Structure 1
Amino acid sequence: MDKYSENWLADELALLKELNHPMKIQQYLDTIEYDSKTDTRSPRYVMIEKSAHCFEGAMFAAACLQNIGYKPLILDLRAVNDDDHVIAVFQKNNLWGSIAKSNFTTLRYREPVYKSLRELAMSYFDFYFNTAGQKTLREYSIPLNLSKYNHIDWKTTDADMEHIGDKLDRLKHYPLIGNEAASELSEVSPYLVEAGLMGSNPEGLFKPE
Protein backbone atom coordinates (compact mmCIF):
# COMPACT_ATOMS: atom_id res chain seq x y z
CA MET A 1 0.00 0.00 0.00
CA ASP A 2 1.18 3.57 -0.63
CA LYS A 3 1.84 6.18 2.01
CA TYR A 4 -1.67 7.56 1.66
CA SER A 5 -3.22 4.29 2.87
CA GLU A 6 -2.67 5.44 6.45
CA ASN A 7 -5.72 7.68 5.97
CA TRP A 8 -8.02 4.64 5.82
CA LEU A 9 -9.80 3.68 9.03
CA ALA A 10 -9.70 0.11 10.34
CA ASP A 11 -13.19 -0.81 9.11
CA GLU A 12 -12.44 0.68 5.70
CA LEU A 13 -9.24 -1.34 5.41
CA ALA A 14 -11.22 -4.45 6.38
CA LEU A 15 -13.65 -3.83 3.52
CA LEU A 16 -10.82 -3.20 1.08
CA LYS A 17 -9.28 -6.49 2.13
CA GLU A 18 -12.54 -8.28 1.28
CA LEU A 19 -12.73 -6.66 -2.16
CA ASN A 20 -9.72 -8.53 -3.48
CA HIS A 21 -10.97 -9.28 -7.01
CA PRO A 22 -12.52 -7.03 -9.70
CA MET A 23 -15.80 -8.97 -9.64
CA LYS A 24 -16.06 -8.60 -5.86
CA ILE A 25 -15.67 -4.84 -6.30
CA GLN A 26 -18.48 -4.88 -8.87
CA GLN A 27 -20.69 -6.99 -6.62
CA TYR A 28 -20.21 -4.48 -3.80
CA LEU A 29 -21.19 -1.60 -6.08
CA ASP A 30 -24.27 -3.55 -7.14
CA THR A 31 -25.43 -3.78 -3.51
CA ILE A 32 -25.38 -0.03 -2.78
CA GLU A 33 -27.89 2.62 -3.84
CA TYR A 34 -27.54 4.70 -7.00
CA ASP A 35 -27.04 8.31 -5.89
CA SER A 36 -28.90 10.95 -7.89
CA LYS A 37 -27.07 13.92 -6.33
CA THR A 38 -24.61 15.89 -8.44
CA ASP A 39 -21.75 16.39 -5.98
CA THR A 40 -18.83 13.97 -6.18
CA ARG A 41 -17.57 12.37 -2.99
CA SER A 42 -14.48 10.34 -2.25
CA PRO A 43 -14.38 6.52 -2.00
CA ARG A 44 -14.50 6.88 1.79
CA TYR A 45 -17.94 8.47 1.55
CA VAL A 46 -19.16 5.77 -0.78
CA MET A 47 -18.38 3.35 2.06
CA ILE A 48 -20.02 5.58 4.67
CA GLU A 49 -23.18 6.43 2.74
CA LYS A 50 -23.40 3.12 0.85
CA SER A 51 -24.43 4.99 -2.28
CA ALA A 52 -22.73 6.30 -5.41
CA HIS A 53 -23.36 7.64 -8.88
CA CYS A 54 -21.22 6.44 -11.78
CA PHE A 55 -18.30 8.82 -11.22
CA GLU A 56 -18.14 8.08 -7.50
CA GLY A 57 -18.46 4.37 -8.25
CA ALA A 58 -15.60 4.55 -10.75
CA MET A 59 -13.32 6.30 -8.26
CA PHE A 60 -14.27 3.80 -5.56
CA ALA A 61 -13.51 0.90 -7.91
CA ALA A 62 -10.20 2.52 -8.90
CA ALA A 63 -9.22 2.80 -5.23
CA CYS A 64 -10.07 -0.87 -4.68
CA LEU A 65 -8.21 -1.90 -7.83
CA GLN A 66 -5.11 -0.02 -6.70
CA ASN A 67 -5.31 -1.82 -3.37
CA ILE A 68 -4.94 -5.18 -5.19
CA GLY A 69 -2.14 -4.09 -7.48
CA TYR A 70 -3.80 -2.42 -10.48
CA LYS A 71 -3.40 1.18 -11.59
CA PRO A 72 -6.28 3.44 -10.47
CA LEU A 73 -7.59 4.28 -13.94
CA ILE A 74 -10.93 5.81 -14.89
CA LEU A 75 -12.32 6.45 -18.37
CA ASP A 76 -15.17 8.58 -19.70
CA LEU A 77 -17.82 7.30 -22.10
CA ARG A 78 -19.36 10.35 -23.78
CA ALA A 79 -22.97 10.34 -24.93
CA VAL A 80 -25.47 12.57 -26.74
CA ASN A 81 -28.93 13.31 -25.34
CA ASP A 82 -27.91 11.28 -22.30
CA ASP A 83 -25.58 11.24 -19.31
CA ASP A 84 -21.92 10.44 -19.83
CA HIS A 85 -20.72 7.32 -18.01
CA VAL A 86 -17.47 6.95 -16.06
CA ILE A 87 -15.95 3.51 -15.57
CA ALA A 88 -12.87 2.12 -13.84
CA VAL A 89 -10.68 0.16 -16.25
CA PHE A 90 -8.09 -2.49 -15.50
CA GLN A 91 -5.73 -4.60 -17.54
CA LYS A 92 -5.06 -8.30 -16.94
CA ASN A 93 -2.88 -10.40 -19.24
CA ASN A 94 -2.76 -7.40 -21.62
CA LEU A 95 -6.56 -7.43 -21.93
CA TRP A 96 -8.92 -4.73 -20.70
CA GLY A 97 -11.93 -5.02 -18.42
CA SER A 98 -14.03 -2.56 -16.45
CA ILE A 99 -16.05 -1.98 -13.30
CA ALA A 100 -18.90 0.51 -13.08
CA LYS A 101 -21.77 1.80 -10.98
CA SER A 102 -24.76 2.52 -13.19
CA ASN A 103 -28.48 3.16 -13.00
CA PHE A 104 -28.71 0.78 -15.98
CA THR A 105 -28.08 -2.95 -15.54
CA THR A 106 -26.38 -3.10 -18.95
CA LEU A 107 -23.58 -0.60 -18.23
CA ARG A 108 -21.65 -2.27 -15.44
CA TYR A 109 -18.94 -4.95 -15.37
CA ARG A 110 -16.96 -6.13 -18.36
CA GLU A 111 -14.63 -9.12 -18.17
CA PRO A 112 -10.96 -8.46 -19.06
CA VAL A 113 -11.18 -9.93 -22.56
CA TYR A 114 -10.84 -6.82 -24.75
CA LYS A 115 -7.66 -6.16 -26.72
CA SER A 116 -8.00 -2.38 -26.69
CA LEU A 117 -9.84 0.38 -24.89
CA ARG A 118 -11.83 0.98 -28.05
CA GLU A 119 -12.99 -2.65 -28.04
CA LEU A 120 -13.95 -2.26 -24.40
CA ALA A 121 -15.86 0.96 -25.07
CA MET A 122 -17.67 -0.62 -28.03
CA SER A 123 -18.85 -3.46 -25.79
CA TYR A 124 -21.12 -0.86 -24.17
CA PHE A 125 -22.47 0.54 -27.44
CA ASP A 126 -25.61 -1.53 -28.05
CA PHE A 127 -26.48 -1.39 -24.35
CA TYR A 128 -25.94 2.35 -23.89
CA PHE A 129 -29.35 3.94 -24.41
CA ASN A 130 -31.58 6.56 -22.86
CA THR A 131 -35.10 6.04 -21.53
CA ALA A 132 -36.50 6.84 -24.98
CA GLY A 133 -34.66 3.84 -26.44
CA GLN A 134 -32.09 5.86 -28.39
CA LYS A 135 -28.52 4.52 -28.63
CA THR A 136 -26.46 7.41 -27.33
CA LEU A 137 -22.79 6.42 -26.89
CA ARG A 138 -20.45 8.35 -29.19
CA GLU A 139 -16.90 8.71 -27.77
CA TYR A 140 -14.47 7.38 -25.20
CA SER A 141 -11.58 9.11 -23.45
CA ILE A 142 -8.02 8.16 -22.74
CA PRO A 143 -7.72 6.86 -19.16
CA LEU A 144 -7.06 9.19 -16.24
CA ASN A 145 -4.65 7.84 -13.62
CA LEU A 146 -5.94 8.96 -10.24
CA SER A 147 -2.49 8.51 -8.66
CA LYS A 148 -1.75 12.07 -9.77
CA TYR A 149 -4.29 13.20 -7.17
CA ASN A 150 -2.67 11.42 -4.24
CA HIS A 151 -1.51 14.80 -2.92
CA ILE A 152 -5.14 15.74 -2.24
CA ASP A 153 -6.02 12.35 -0.70
CA TRP A 154 -8.65 11.60 -3.35
CA LYS A 155 -9.58 8.33 -1.66
CA THR A 156 -10.54 9.79 1.71
CA THR A 157 -10.97 13.55 1.42
CA ASP A 158 -14.06 15.44 2.61
CA ALA A 159 -13.79 17.79 -0.37
CA ASP A 160 -15.94 17.65 -3.50
CA MET A 161 -14.07 15.88 -6.31
CA GLU A 162 -15.91 17.59 -9.17
CA HIS A 163 -12.65 19.08 -10.47
CA ILE A 164 -11.42 15.57 -11.29
CA GLY A 165 -14.53 15.10 -13.40
CA ASP A 166 -13.78 18.38 -15.17
CA LYS A 167 -10.26 17.13 -15.92
CA LEU A 168 -11.62 13.84 -17.25
CA ASP A 169 -14.03 15.72 -19.51
CA ARG A 170 -11.14 17.75 -20.97
CA LEU A 171 -9.04 14.70 -21.85
CA LYS A 172 -8.73 13.58 -25.45
CA HIS A 173 -11.78 11.63 -26.59
CA TYR A 174 -11.96 9.32 -29.59
CA PRO A 175 -15.07 8.84 -31.73
CA LEU A 176 -16.72 5.43 -31.78
CA ILE A 177 -19.02 6.07 -34.74
CA GLY A 178 -19.39 8.76 -37.39
CA ASN A 179 -22.29 11.12 -38.00
CA GLU A 180 -23.72 9.07 -40.87
CA ALA A 181 -23.79 5.87 -38.84
CA ALA A 182 -25.28 7.75 -35.89
CA SER A 183 -28.11 9.07 -38.06
CA GLU A 184 -29.07 5.54 -39.10
CA LEU A 185 -29.14 3.85 -35.70
CA SER A 186 -32.21 1.78 -34.90
CA GLU A 187 -34.14 2.19 -31.68
CA VAL A 188 -33.60 -0.21 -28.83
CA SER A 189 -36.20 -2.92 -28.20
CA PRO A 190 -38.64 -1.98 -25.42
CA TYR A 191 -37.78 -5.28 -23.75
CA LEU A 192 -34.10 -4.33 -23.56
CA VAL A 193 -34.96 -0.86 -22.25
CA GLU A 194 -37.11 -2.48 -19.56
CA ALA A 195 -34.30 -4.87 -18.65
CA GLY A 196 -31.77 -2.04 -18.55
CA LEU A 197 -33.93 -0.02 -16.18
CA MET A 198 -34.60 -2.87 -13.77
CA GLY A 199 -34.04 -1.62 -10.23
CA SER A 200 -33.10 1.89 -11.36
CA ASN A 201 -33.47 5.05 -9.27
CA PRO A 202 -35.96 7.21 -11.24
CA GLU A 203 -34.55 10.42 -9.76
CA GLY A 204 -31.16 9.64 -11.30
CA LEU A 205 -32.40 9.03 -14.85
CA PHE A 206 -31.55 11.46 -17.63
CA LYS A 207 -34.63 12.98 -19.29
CA PRO A 208 -34.00 12.89 -23.07
CA GLU A 209 -35.24 15.61 -25.39
Structure 2
Amino acid sequence: MADTIIRTIYVKRNTGIKPRSNYSDASDTQTLSALFRYTAEMSTSYRDRIKRLLTPPERRMFQTLATPQKVQDYLDTLPINFEASGETYMAPRRVLRAKTAHCFEGALLAAAALAYHGQKPLLLDFRTIPDDEDHVVALFRQNGYWGAISKTNHAILRYREPAYRSPRELAISFFHEYLMWDGRKSLRAYSRPFDLSKFAPERWVTADKELFWLVEALDKTRHFPTVPKKNLRTLRKAYKIELRAMKLVEWKRKKRLPRSRQR
Protein backbone atom coordinates (compact mmCIF):
# COMPACT_ATOMS: atom_id res chain seq x y z
CA MET A 1 0.00 0.00 0.00
CA ALA A 2 1.30 3.45 -0.83
CA ASP A 3 2.59 5.54 2.02
CA THR A 4 0.17 8.31 1.10
CA ILE A 5 -3.53 8.24 1.84
CA ILE A 6 -5.07 8.40 -1.60
CA ARG A 7 -7.77 11.06 -1.48
CA THR A 8 -8.10 11.37 -5.27
CA ILE A 9 -6.91 14.91 -4.88
CA TYR A 10 -4.57 14.93 -7.93
CA VAL A 11 -3.68 18.62 -7.82
CA LYS A 12 -0.34 19.98 -9.10
CA ARG A 13 0.92 16.44 -9.55
CA ASN A 14 2.45 16.18 -13.02
CA THR A 15 2.07 19.71 -14.31
CA GLY A 16 5.76 20.51 -14.22
CA ILE A 17 5.04 23.09 -11.54
CA LYS A 18 7.80 23.21 -8.96
CA PRO A 19 6.84 23.49 -5.28
CA ARG A 20 7.11 27.04 -4.05
CA SER A 21 8.20 28.36 -0.70
CA ASN A 22 5.99 31.45 -0.72
CA TYR A 23 4.81 30.93 2.84
CA SER A 24 4.22 33.91 5.06
CA ASP A 25 4.68 33.78 8.80
CA ALA A 26 1.97 36.40 9.13
CA SER A 27 -1.42 35.02 10.06
CA ASP A 28 -4.35 36.00 7.89
CA THR A 29 -5.83 37.55 11.00
CA GLN A 30 -3.31 40.32 10.39
CA THR A 31 -4.83 40.99 6.98
CA LEU A 32 -8.50 41.04 7.93
CA SER A 33 -8.78 44.59 6.68
CA ALA A 34 -8.21 43.23 3.18
CA LEU A 35 -10.91 40.56 3.43
CA PHE A 36 -13.74 42.94 2.58
CA ARG A 37 -12.98 42.49 -1.09
CA TYR A 38 -13.63 38.77 -0.73
CA THR A 39 -16.94 39.18 1.08
CA ALA A 40 -18.63 41.64 -1.24
CA GLU A 41 -21.28 40.34 -3.60
CA MET A 42 -20.32 39.51 -7.16
CA SER A 43 -20.79 42.35 -9.63
CA THR A 44 -23.92 42.05 -11.74
CA SER A 45 -21.89 42.41 -14.93
CA TYR A 46 -19.67 39.42 -14.13
CA ARG A 47 -22.64 37.31 -13.13
CA ASP A 48 -24.42 38.23 -16.36
CA ARG A 49 -21.33 37.37 -18.39
CA ILE A 50 -21.39 33.87 -16.93
CA LYS A 51 -25.09 33.48 -17.68
CA ARG A 52 -24.58 34.55 -21.29
CA LEU A 53 -21.83 31.98 -21.74
CA LEU A 54 -23.95 29.05 -20.60
CA THR A 55 -26.27 26.98 -22.75
CA PRO A 56 -29.96 26.73 -21.73
CA PRO A 57 -29.45 23.28 -20.13
CA GLU A 58 -26.40 24.59 -18.24
CA ARG A 59 -28.36 27.60 -17.00
CA ARG A 60 -31.16 25.34 -15.80
CA MET A 61 -28.64 23.24 -13.88
CA PHE A 62 -26.94 26.28 -12.33
CA GLN A 63 -30.31 27.72 -11.41
CA THR A 64 -30.96 24.69 -9.18
CA LEU A 65 -27.62 25.18 -7.38
CA ALA A 66 -28.87 28.24 -5.53
CA THR A 67 -27.12 27.70 -2.18
CA PRO A 68 -23.78 26.26 -1.05
CA GLN A 69 -25.67 23.38 0.52
CA LYS A 70 -27.34 22.50 -2.80
CA VAL A 71 -24.03 22.79 -4.62
CA GLN A 72 -22.48 20.32 -2.18
CA ASP A 73 -25.43 17.97 -2.58
CA TYR A 74 -24.88 17.96 -6.34
CA LEU A 75 -21.12 17.40 -6.07
CA ASP A 76 -21.78 14.44 -3.79
CA THR A 77 -23.67 12.72 -6.62
CA LEU A 78 -20.71 12.92 -9.01
CA PRO A 79 -18.33 9.95 -9.08
CA ILE A 80 -14.71 10.79 -8.36
CA ASN A 81 -12.58 11.50 -11.42
CA PHE A 82 -9.80 8.90 -11.16
CA GLU A 83 -8.20 10.31 -14.34
CA ALA A 84 -8.09 6.85 -15.89
CA SER A 85 -7.21 8.30 -19.30
CA GLY A 86 -4.73 10.89 -18.06
CA GLU A 87 -4.48 14.03 -15.97
CA THR A 88 -7.38 16.48 -16.21
CA TYR A 89 -8.21 19.95 -14.92
CA MET A 90 -11.67 20.41 -16.39
CA ALA A 91 -13.66 23.64 -16.44
CA PRO A 92 -17.20 23.52 -15.00
CA ARG A 93 -18.78 23.07 -18.44
CA ARG A 94 -16.75 19.91 -19.02
CA VAL A 95 -17.52 18.63 -15.52
CA LEU A 96 -21.26 18.94 -16.19
CA ARG A 97 -20.83 16.94 -19.38
CA ALA A 98 -18.47 14.31 -17.96
CA LYS A 99 -20.45 13.97 -14.71
CA THR A 100 -17.27 13.29 -12.74
CA ALA A 101 -14.82 15.49 -10.83
CA HIS A 102 -11.83 15.48 -8.54
CA CYS A 103 -11.28 18.13 -5.88
CA PHE A 104 -9.96 20.93 -8.11
CA GLU A 105 -12.70 20.40 -10.68
CA GLY A 106 -15.39 20.18 -8.01
CA ALA A 107 -14.17 23.40 -6.40
CA LEU A 108 -14.30 25.21 -9.75
CA LEU A 109 -17.84 24.02 -10.43
CA ALA A 110 -18.89 25.14 -6.96
CA ALA A 111 -17.27 28.55 -7.43
CA ALA A 112 -18.98 28.99 -10.80
CA ALA A 113 -22.37 28.12 -9.31
CA LEU A 114 -21.84 30.60 -6.48
CA ALA A 115 -20.86 33.30 -8.99
CA TYR A 116 -23.97 32.52 -11.05
CA HIS A 117 -26.02 33.41 -7.98
CA GLY A 118 -24.09 36.57 -7.19
CA GLN A 119 -21.43 35.41 -4.74
CA LYS A 120 -17.68 35.75 -5.10
CA PRO A 121 -16.05 32.68 -6.71
CA LEU A 122 -13.32 31.94 -4.18
CA LEU A 123 -10.92 29.00 -3.86
CA LEU A 124 -8.81 27.92 -0.90
CA ASP A 125 -5.69 25.86 -1.61
CA PHE A 126 -4.15 23.45 0.90
CA ARG A 127 -0.46 22.62 0.63
CA THR A 128 1.10 19.52 2.19
CA ILE A 129 4.45 17.85 2.73
CA PRO A 130 5.95 16.45 -0.51
CA ASP A 131 4.78 12.90 0.24
CA ASP A 132 1.11 13.88 0.28
CA GLU A 133 -1.35 15.48 -2.16
CA ASP A 134 -2.77 19.01 -2.07
CA HIS A 135 -6.47 19.79 -1.82
CA VAL A 136 -8.70 22.64 -3.04
CA VAL A 137 -12.11 23.79 -1.80
CA ALA A 138 -14.55 26.56 -2.74
CA LEU A 139 -15.15 29.17 -0.06
CA PHE A 140 -18.46 30.84 0.74
CA ARG A 141 -19.71 33.20 3.42
CA GLN A 142 -23.12 33.27 5.12
CA ASN A 143 -24.15 35.76 7.79
CA GLY A 144 -20.55 36.75 8.38
CA TYR A 145 -19.15 33.22 8.76
CA TRP A 146 -17.02 31.18 6.36
CA GLY A 147 -17.78 27.71 5.04
CA ALA A 148 -16.34 25.46 2.32
CA ILE A 149 -17.61 23.19 -0.45
CA SER A 150 -15.38 20.17 -1.02
CA LYS A 151 -15.21 17.24 -3.43
CA THR A 152 -13.44 14.24 -1.91
CA ASN A 153 -13.69 10.46 -1.97
CA HIS A 154 -13.16 9.94 1.75
CA ALA A 155 -14.80 10.63 5.08
CA ILE A 156 -12.30 13.45 5.61
CA LEU A 157 -11.69 16.87 4.04
CA ARG A 158 -15.39 17.34 3.39
CA TYR A 159 -17.92 20.20 3.44
CA ARG A 160 -17.54 22.82 6.16
CA GLU A 161 -20.55 24.54 7.66
CA PRO A 162 -20.47 28.37 7.75
CA ALA A 163 -19.24 28.38 11.34
CA TYR A 164 -15.76 29.92 10.99
CA ARG A 165 -14.83 33.54 11.59
CA SER A 166 -11.88 33.65 9.19
CA PRO A 167 -10.32 31.64 6.35
CA ARG A 168 -7.55 30.59 8.73
CA GLU A 169 -10.00 29.28 11.29
CA LEU A 170 -11.68 27.24 8.55
CA ALA A 171 -8.36 26.00 7.14
CA ILE A 172 -7.14 24.79 10.53
CA SER A 173 -10.29 22.67 10.89
CA PHE A 174 -8.77 20.44 8.19
CA PHE A 175 -5.43 20.04 9.99
CA HIS A 176 -6.18 16.93 12.07
CA GLU A 177 -7.82 15.18 9.10
CA TYR A 178 -4.83 15.53 6.82
CA LEU A 179 -2.89 12.36 7.63
CA MET A 180 -0.35 9.98 6.13
CA TRP A 181 -0.65 6.22 6.49
CA ASP A 182 2.18 6.29 9.03
CA GLY A 183 0.20 8.76 11.15
CA ARG A 184 2.04 11.96 10.28
CA LYS A 185 -0.04 15.13 10.05
CA SER A 186 0.82 16.53 6.63
CA LEU A 187 -1.01 19.85 6.11
CA ARG A 188 1.52 22.66 6.11
CA ALA A 189 -0.06 25.73 4.51
CA TYR A 190 -3.23 27.25 3.13
CA SER A 191 -3.69 30.05 0.62
CA ARG A 192 -5.39 33.36 0.95
CA PRO A 193 -8.84 33.35 -0.69
CA PHE A 194 -8.21 33.11 -4.43
CA ASP A 195 -10.71 35.24 -6.36
CA LEU A 196 -11.58 33.75 -9.73
CA SER A 197 -13.50 36.86 -10.78
CA LYS A 198 -10.20 38.51 -11.69
CA PHE A 199 -10.19 36.22 -14.73
CA ALA A 200 -12.59 36.37 -17.66
CA PRO A 201 -15.26 33.68 -17.14
CA GLU A 202 -14.51 32.34 -20.63
CA ARG A 203 -11.10 31.26 -19.33
CA TRP A 204 -12.29 29.06 -16.47
CA VAL A 205 -16.07 28.45 -16.61
CA THR A 206 -16.50 27.25 -20.19
CA ALA A 207 -12.95 26.53 -21.40
CA ASP A 208 -12.39 23.36 -23.42
CA LYS A 209 -8.69 22.90 -22.62
CA GLU A 210 -7.15 21.68 -19.37
CA LEU A 211 -6.71 24.55 -16.89
CA PHE A 212 -3.02 24.05 -16.14
CA TRP A 213 -2.53 27.82 -16.14
CA LEU A 214 -5.08 28.19 -13.34
CA VAL A 215 -3.47 25.47 -11.24
CA GLU A 216 -0.17 27.33 -11.56
CA ALA A 217 -1.74 30.69 -10.66
CA LEU A 218 -3.33 29.16 -7.56
CA ASP A 219 -0.03 27.59 -6.56
CA LYS A 220 1.74 30.94 -6.85
CA THR A 221 -0.69 32.81 -4.61
CA ARG A 222 0.35 33.71 -1.08
CA HIS A 223 0.18 30.86 1.43
CA PHE A 224 0.21 30.92 5.23
CA PRO A 225 1.67 28.23 7.52
CA THR A 226 -0.72 26.10 9.54
CA VAL A 227 1.81 25.46 12.32
CA PRO A 228 4.91 27.40 13.42
CA LYS A 229 8.10 25.60 12.39
CA LYS A 230 9.20 25.22 16.00
CA ASN A 231 6.00 23.30 16.77
CA LEU A 232 6.34 20.78 13.94
CA ARG A 233 8.72 18.61 15.97
CA THR A 234 6.12 18.12 18.70
CA LEU A 235 3.20 17.01 16.52
CA ARG A 236 1.72 13.69 17.66
CA LYS A 237 0.91 10.98 15.17
CA ALA A 238 -2.69 10.00 14.47
CA TYR A 239 -4.42 7.26 16.42
CA LYS A 240 -4.70 3.84 14.80
CA ILE A 241 -8.48 4.11 14.78
CA GLU A 242 -8.18 7.34 12.76
CA LEU A 243 -6.01 5.56 10.21
CA ARG A 244 -8.50 2.72 9.92
CA ALA A 245 -11.22 5.27 9.20
CA MET A 246 -9.15 6.54 6.27
CA LYS A 247 -9.93 3.36 4.36
CA LEU A 248 -13.55 4.41 3.90
CA VAL A 249 -14.22 5.54 0.34
CA GLU A 250 -17.37 6.60 -1.49
CA TRP A 251 -16.36 5.59 -5.00
CA LYS A 252 -14.18 2.57 -5.77
CA ARG A 253 -11.70 2.61 -8.61
CA LYS A 254 -12.76 0.20 -11.33
CA LYS A 255 -10.30 -2.54 -12.10
CA ARG A 256 -8.88 -2.44 -15.60
CA LEU A 257 -10.40 -5.17 -17.74
CA PRO A 258 -8.20 -7.53 -19.78
CA ARG A 259 -7.62 -6.14 -23.27
CA SER A 260 -9.93 -8.75 -24.81
CA ARG A 261 -12.81 -7.50 -22.63
CA GLN A 262 -12.28 -3.77 -22.98
CA ARG A 263 -14.69 -1.78 -25.14
Q: Same fold (TM over 0.5)?
A: yes
Aligned counterpart, 2:183: 133
Of 52, 60, 77 in structure 1, the residue corresponding to residue 126 of structure 2 is 77
SS of the residue aligned with 2:120?
coil
Residues 83-138 of structure 1 show CA distances to partners (whole Å, capped at 9, x for unaligned) of 11111001122211100112322111101111111100001111112344321111
Aligned counterpart, 2:256: none
Relative to its length, the structure with more strand (as a share) is 1
Question: Hey, what's the Cα distance between the residues in 2 that align with 1:46 and 1:10?
Answer: 16
Pick closer, same or farther for the CA change 1:191–1:174 going to 2, 3 Å: same
Question: Hey, what's the Cα distance between the residues in 2 that align with 1:157 and 1:20?
Answer: 23
1:1-209 to structure 2, matched below 5 A, reads 1-37=47-83, 38-80=87-129, 81-150=131-200, 152-200=202-250
Instruction: Kindly indicate whether the alpha-carbon contact (under 8 Å) linking 1:77 and 1:139 is maintained by their aligned counterparts in 2.
Output: yes
SS of the residue aligned with 1:104?
coil
RMSD of the alignment, in Å?
Answer: 1.8
Question: Hey, what's the Cα distance between the residues in 1 that align with 2:134 and 2:157?
Answer: 11
User: Identity over aligned residues, as a percent?
Assistant: 38
Question: Hey, what's the Cα distance between the residues in 1 that align with 2:114 and 2:207?
Answer: 18
Instruction: Kindly indicate whether the alpha-carbon contact (under 8 Å) linking 1:77 and 1:140 is maintained by their aligned counterparts in 2.
Output: yes
Instruction: Kindly indicate whether the alpha-carbon contact (under 8 Å) linking 2:188 and 2:227 is maintained by their aligned counterparts in 1.
Output: yes
Question: Hey, what's the Cα distance between the residues in 2 that align with 1:78 and 1:123?
Answer: 14
Gaps of 5+ in 1: 204-209
Question: Hey, what's the Cα distance between the residues in 1 that align with 2:212 and 2:157?
Answer: 22
SS of the residue aligned with 1:35?
coil
Q: Which moved more, 1:30-39 or 1:166-175?
A: 30-39
Instruction: Kindly indicate whether the alpha-carbon contact (under 8 Å) linking 1:4 and 1:150 is maintained by their aligned counterparts in 2.
Output: no
Instruction: Kindly indicate whether the alpha-carbon contact (under 8 Å) linking 1:4 and 1:153 is maintained by their aligned counterparts in 2.
Output: no
Question: Hey, what's the Cα distance between the residues in 2 that align with 1:57 and 1:4?
Answer: 17
C-alpha displacement at 1:151, in angstroms? 5.3
C-alpha displacement at 1:68, in angstroms? 2.0
Q: Which amino acid aligns with 1:6?
A: R
Question: Hey, what's the Cα distance between the residues in 1 that align with 2:105 and 2:201?
Answer: 18
Pick closer, same or farther for the CA change 1:48–1:123 going to 2, 3 Å: same
C-alpha displacement at 1:75, in angstroms? 1.2
Higher gyration radius (CA) = 2
Q: Which moved more, 1:151-160 or 1:162-171?
A: 151-160
